[in-house]
């Protein structure tokens, strides 16, 4: 099968369900394998693709999304408006779920039509009706039946950057890490600004795939639109280092929306939105879907190959003279002694990795503490120059609230990457060790088996270990001045103020960095524990499957010749069914000698 051909994910899901049922029915040695297959089905099911629309305020992001959805549901206006990221997923009927940052239960609202949906969204995500996010909304998720949301695409409306509402910019910046791809929207009038170029530079480093849309081309004639597109391309190349032929899609979101609402297919095409909907959305989603599906297929085939190995072993064992069988069992147990030694040394190495990572966390947080101490001293000094102690305290608190989450993100991202890189080597070693146990069994009983390749690509972007990231900041508790201080000479009083501010800064930094350090160490421990348990579990599965197969054969043979024959017939049937299921998954040579299809990665 050509792995670059996108396949129907529902049929893959069905194949996985069949395979899992089949494996489960093969007997008590295999529930773990069936569970792993169910895990893959879940992964496929939730394999959504986050596509955000990004841009400066009022470029028409919300209008464009409305055009793509086919109805005006996201609030749009002439004043800066969108204040909370809104995720729009595919669902059978319109529904809104609102999550709050203070841990209140989510609010789920079923909405009968577009107008009702628009009203609920306006109440929660706009600067007008929810100024400075008074309602404490953390995230809004919309379910919508639009076909634009097929292939697992999740469209995301983001607050515009660069408006007078600085918190909107901060919200969008913090959200970039969630985006798999983005449509970067600029408008024909005014042409791209310096603020947008600076924003683009940030985006470019954090979002893996970017597409450029030039909106509001309805203001321009055809010639002007061509000139504007050319200008935008030049700016993108010169100021943001993008290739000179980077595609730019001219659109009129407003006309697109009007055309969709009027059912005007020609107008829809003329607006440029059709191309975005047809080509871009499906291209992006398929690209992701393809990688995901190929990887799921490959892993499922690997699991099925392991089960097949155990079944073939059992069949071979059933045909063997008892004495030979016992001898093979002893040889397999001897091979396990070696594997056990390797397992111990792997666990030691993982423990060593934990220690080194913990040291890195300490070093990073110490550096952060130091950097922040200096930074806050500077902030306090500057505020004191033209204000009093209270102003300096306020300036420090503001600096922490504004800058600390970013620092924290950066440190966490760096450590995430580092742990991922380090564990990858151990992951490969563990897979090899587990494979060697199966290979030993296969060789002993002379049945074909190829160790499945491991695949990490999809995990690379997931934040495997940093799960409890807590960006809530420790507040500043002002240290009161002593009453008698007022009577002191000015120089002395100033020195006291400085000392107090210094202590304040120290407390603030210590409390916040300590929070971070503690949660990182917790997460690191959890990640290492899971990893070590996975290694032990995987090895145990491999051993259990082989021992189980031999044991069942010995038991059946000693019980009755008839029982042995019956079990052999059952195993043969199971093997045939599994081989068939494996062939459906796209594995051509079920004897396990041909390479599995590799995922197509652009």
Ligand X SMILES: Nc1nc2c(ncn2[C@@H]2O[C@H](COP(=O)(O)OP(=O)(O)OP(=O)(O)O)[C@@H](O)[C@H]2O)c(=O)[nH]1
Task: Count how many residues are written for the chain.
Answer: 602
Would you say 11 and 277 are in contact if contact means Cβ atoms under 8 Å apart? no
Of residues 20, 48, 76, 171, which one binds ligand X by CB under 6 A? 76
> How crowded is residue 417: how many other Cβ atoms within 10 Å of its Cβ?
12
Of residues 48, 146, 229, 252, which one binds ligand X by CB under 6 A? 252
Would you say 9 and 150 are in contact if contact means Cβ atoms under 8 Å apart? no
Could you tell me which stretch among 57-65, 331-339, 430-438, 554-562 binds ligand X (CB under 6 A)? 57-65
Judged by beta carbon, residue 183 or residue 585, the one nearer ligand X is: 183
> 162-175 b/e with 16+ CB inside 10 Å = b?
bbebeebbbbbbeb
Q: From the CB of 422, what's the least distance to Mg ion, in Å?
A: 41
Judged by beta carbon, residue 190 or residue 475, the one nearer Mg ion is: 190
Judged by beta carbon, residue 219 or residue 283, the one nearer ligand X is: 219
Could you tell me which stretch among 75-83, 245-253, 365-373, 517-525 binds Mg ion (CB under 5 A)? 75-83
Count of alpha carbons within 13 Å of 115, Cβ hemisphere only?
0
Judged by beta carbon, residue 76 or residue 146, the one nearer ligand X is: 76
Structure letter (DSSP) for residue 56: B
Residue pointed to by tokens 């089960």: 307
> What does 252 bind: Mg ion, ligand X, none (CB cut-off 5 to 8 Å by kind)?
ligand X
Of 45, 40, 50, 46, give the one whose Cα is nearest residue 16.
Answer: 40
Residue pointed to by tokens 């051993």: 543
Of residues 22, 29, 51, 58, which one binds ligand X by CB under 6 A? 58
Could you tell me which stretch among 59-67, 136-144, 372-380, 445-453 binds ligand X (CB under 6 A)? 59-67
Residue 82 binds Mg ion (CB under 5 A): yes
Judged by beta carbon, residue 77 or residue 347, the one nearer ligand X is: 77
Could you tell me which stretch among 247-255, 276-284, 289-297, 431-439 binds ligand X (CB under 6 A)? 247-255
Residue 26 phi, psi dihedral angles, 5° rounding: -75, -5
Q: From the CB of 221, what's the least distance to ligand X, in Å?
A: 14
Of residues 48, 90, 215, 229, which one binds ligand X by CB under 6 A? 215
CA distance 550 to 174: 55
Could you tell me which stretch among 174-182, 213-221, 238-246, 570-578 binds ligand X (CB under 6 A)? 213-221
> What does 512 bind: Mg ion, ligand X, none (CB cut-off 5 to 8 Å by kind)?
none
Judged by beta carbon, residue 219 or residue 466, the one nearer ligand X is: 219
Beta bridge partners, 161, equal: 56
Judged by beta carbon, residue 15 or residue 196, the one nearer ligand X is: 196
Residue 160 binds ligand X (CB under 6 A): yes
Residue 218 binds ligand X (CB under 6 A): yes
Residue 429 phi, psi dihedral angles, 5° rounding: -60, -40
Could you tell me which stretch among 211-219, 381-389, 395-403, 474-482 binds ligand X (CB under 6 A)? 211-219
> What does 143 bind: ligand X, Mg ion, none (CB cut-off 5 to 8 Å by kind)?
none
> What does 564 bind: ligand X, Mg ion, none (CB cut-off 5 to 8 Å by kind)?
none
Structure tokens belonging to residue 435: 């494979």
Structure tokens belonging to residue 395: 């300036």
Judged by beta carbon, residue 2 or residue 223, the one nearer ligand X is: 223
CA 329 to chain centre: 44
Structure tokens belonging to residue 178: 């969630």
Would you say 451 and 438 are in contact if contact means Cβ atoms under 8 Å apart? yes
> What does 385 bind: Mg ion, ligand X, none (CB cut-off 5 to 8 Å by kind)?
none
Structure tokens belonging to residue 587: 């594995």
> How crowded is residue 387: how many other Cβ atoms within 10 Å of its Cβ?
13
Q: From the CB of 81, what's the least distance to ligand X, in Å?
A: 4
Residue 172 binds Mg ion (CB under 5 A): no
To 5 degrees, how large is the angle CA 165–CA 131–CA 99?
105
Of 436, 435, 441, 448, give the one whose Cα is nearest residue 325.
Answer: 441
Of residues 36, 59, 299, 329, which one binds ligand X by CB under 6 A? 59
Positions 27 through 66 that interact with Mg ion (CB under 5 A): 61-62
Would you say 512 and 473 are in contact if contact means Cβ atoms under 8 Å apart? yes
Of 179, 201, 218, give the one whose Cα is nearest residue 64.
Answer: 218
Report how far apart the first and last C-alpha atoms of the chain are (Å, whole number). Answer: 18
Q: Pattern of binders to ligand X over 284-313, x per CB under 6 A?
A: ------------------------------
Q: From the CB of 378, what's the least distance to ligand X, in Å?
A: 33
Q: From the CB of 53, what's the least distance to ligand X, in Å?
A: 8
Judged by beta carbon, residue 80 or residue 435, the one nearer Mg ion is: 80
> What does 169 bind: ligand X, Mg ion, none (CB cut-off 5 to 8 Å by kind)?
none
> 309-324 b/e with 16+ CB inside 10 Å = b?
bbbbbbbbbbebeeee
Would you say 228 and 220 are in contact if contact means Cβ atoms under 8 Å apart? yes
> How crowded is residue 220: how many other Cβ atoms within 10 Å of its Cβ?
18
Could you tell me which stretch among 21-29, 79-87, 106-114, 373-381 binds ligand X (CB under 6 A)? 79-87
Count of residues interacting with ligand X (CB under 6 A) = 23
Helix 490-559, helix 31-45: angle, nearest 10: 130
Would you say 96 and 109 are in contact if contact means Cβ atoms under 8 Å apart? yes
Of 254, 276, 219, give the one whose Cα is nearest residue 62.
Answer: 254
Q: From the CB of 63, what's the least distance to ligand X, in Å?
A: 3
Of residues 82, 86, 364, 512, which one binds ligand X by CB under 6 A? 82
Q: From the CB of 200, what's the least distance to ligand X, in Å?
A: 15
Which residues of this protein are in contact with ligand X, per CB under 6 A? 55, 57-63, 76-78, 80-82, 159-160, 215-216, 218-219, 252-254
Which residues of this protein are in contact with Mg ion, per CB under 5 A? 61-62, 82
């Amino acid at each position: 099968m050509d792995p670059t051909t996108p396949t129907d994910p529902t049929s893959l899901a069905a194949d996985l369900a069949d395979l899992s049922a089949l494996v489960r029915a093969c007997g008590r040695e295999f529930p773990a394998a069936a569970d792993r297959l169910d895990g893959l089905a879940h992964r496929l099911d939730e394999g959504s693709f986050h596509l955000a629309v990004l841009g400066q305020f009022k470029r028409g992001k919300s209008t464009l999304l409305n055009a793509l959805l086919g109805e005006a549901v996201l609030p749009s206006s002439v004043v800066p408006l969108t204040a909370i990221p809104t995720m729009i997923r595919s669902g059978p009927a319109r529904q809104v779920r609102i999550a709050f940052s203070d841990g209140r239960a989510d609010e789920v609202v079923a909405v009968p039509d577009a107008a009702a949906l628009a009203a609920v969204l306006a109440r929660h995500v706009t600067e007008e009706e929810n100024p400075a996010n008074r309602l404490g909304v953390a995230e809004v998720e919309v379910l919508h039946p639009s076909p634009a949301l097929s292939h697992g695409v999740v469209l995301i409306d983001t607050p515009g950057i660069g408006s007078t509402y600085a918190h909107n910019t901060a919200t969008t910046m913090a959200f970039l890490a969630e985006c798999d791809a983005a449509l970067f929207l600029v408008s024909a009038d005014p042409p791209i600004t310096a603020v947008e170029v600076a924003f683009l530079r940030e985006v470019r480093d954090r979002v893996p795939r970017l597409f450029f849309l030039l909106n509001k081309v309805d203001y321009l004639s055809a010639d002007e639109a061509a000139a504007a597109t050319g200008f935008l391309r030049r700016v993108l190349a010169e100021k943001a280092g993008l290739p000179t032929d980077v595609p730019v899609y001219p659109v009129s979101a407003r006309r697109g929306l009007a055309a969709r609402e009027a059912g005007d297919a020609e107008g829809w095409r003329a607006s440029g939105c059709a191309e975005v909907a047809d080509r871009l959305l499906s291209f992006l989603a398929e690209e992701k879907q393809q990688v995901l599906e190929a990887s799921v297929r490959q892993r499922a085939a690997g699991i099925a190959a392991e089960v097949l190995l155990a079944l073939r072993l059992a069949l071979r064992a059933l045909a063997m003279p008892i004495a030979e069988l016992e001898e093979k069992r002893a040889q397999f147990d001897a091979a396990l002694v070696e594997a056990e030694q390797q397992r111990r040394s792997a666990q030691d190495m993982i423990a060593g990795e934990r220690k080194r990572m913990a040291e890195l966390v300490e070093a990073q947080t110490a550096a952060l503490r130091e950097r922040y101490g200096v930074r806050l001293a500077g902030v306090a000094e500057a505020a004191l120059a033209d204000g009093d102690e209270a102003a300096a305290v306020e300036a420090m608190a503001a600096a922490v609230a504004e800058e600390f989450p970013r620092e924290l993100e950066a440190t966490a991202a760096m450590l995430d990457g580092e742990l991922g890189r380090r564990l990858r080597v151990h992951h490969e070693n563990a897979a090899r060790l587990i494979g060697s146990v199966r290979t030993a069994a296969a060789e002993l009983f002379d049945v074909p088996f190829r160790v499945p390749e491991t695949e990490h690509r999809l995990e690379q972007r997931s934040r495997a270990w940093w799960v409890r990231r807590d960006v809530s900041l420790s507040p500043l508790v002002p240290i009161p001045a002593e009453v008698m201080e007022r009577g002191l000479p000015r120089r002395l009083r100033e020195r006291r103020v400085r000392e107090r501010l210094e202590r304040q800064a120290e407390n603030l930094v210590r409390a916040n960095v300590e929070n971070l350090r503690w949660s990182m160490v917790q997460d690191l421990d959890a990640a290492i524990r899971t990893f070590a348990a996975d290694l032990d579990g995987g090895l145990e599965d491999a051993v259990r499957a082989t021992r189980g197969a031999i044991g069942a054969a010995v038991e059946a043979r000693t019980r009755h010749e008839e029982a042995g024959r019956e079990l052999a017939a059952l195993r043969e049937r199971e093997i045939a069914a599994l081989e068939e299921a494996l062939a459906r998954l796209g594995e051509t040579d079920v004897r396990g000698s041909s390479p599995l299809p590799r995922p197509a990665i652009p």
